[in-house]
Structure 1
């Protein structure tokens, strides 16, 4: 079972992601702030992290920069429709970008890209 850490400040989206990940047979952990995310990475050692770009304290790009040394695959999540965001996410080290609202199959596709096959 893959362990996924969700970093999302909106509690409804955080809960939805945890439910969706459970439906995809993942063990999901969720936090709402970058500072709690840094602690959770050490505590839970996830296989992948899903990071909201629009976080408080620092944006998801800055958090990804802090997490890059862990070599844990990262998937970006955003409600922003800016067309250059996908390229910026790739340059920041994200394996993919989920645009909200997204479907379960979109989440599954991005996890497949991020996680090695067993």
Structure 2
């Protein structure tokens, strides 16, 4: 079972993502703030991290920079996608981008692309 850490500040979206990931047979863990992310990464050792770009305390790009040395695949999620943001997501080292609202099949596709093969 793949382990996915979700960093999402909206509690309803966080809960929805955990349920969607469970439907995809993933073990999901979720945090709502960037400071709790590093502790969660060390505690849960996720196979992939799903990061909301529009976090209040620190944006998803800064958080991705902090996580880069962990060498964990990262997916970005945002409700404000545009071509400039998509380019910035790629440059920041994210393996994919999910545009909110997204469907379960979109999440499954991006996870399959990001997750390491067994």
Shorter-normalised TM-score: what interval?
over 0.9
Question: TM-score normalised to the size of structure 2?
Answer: 0.97
The answer as to whether partners of 2:47 and 2:116 remain within 8 angstroms in 1 is no
- Partners of 1:90 and 1:113 in 2: how far apart? 14
The answer as to whether partners of 1:86 and 1:96 remain within 8 angstroms in 2 is no
- After the TM superposition, which residues 1-118 of structure 1 pair with which residues of structure 2 at under 5 Å, given as runs? 1-118=1-118
Deviation (angstroms), 1:83: 2.2
Deviation (angstroms), 1:106: 0.4
Question: TM-score normalised to the size of structure 1?
Answer: 0.97
Q: Deviations over 1:93-115 (max 9, x none)?
A: 10000000000010001101111
Q: Deviations over 1:2-58 (max 9, x none)?
A: 000000000010001000000000000000000011110011110000000000210
Unmatched runs of 5 consecutive residues or more in structure 1: none
Query: Which consecutive segments of 4 or more residues in structure 1 shift more than 3 A?
Result: none
Give the total of aligned pairs.
118
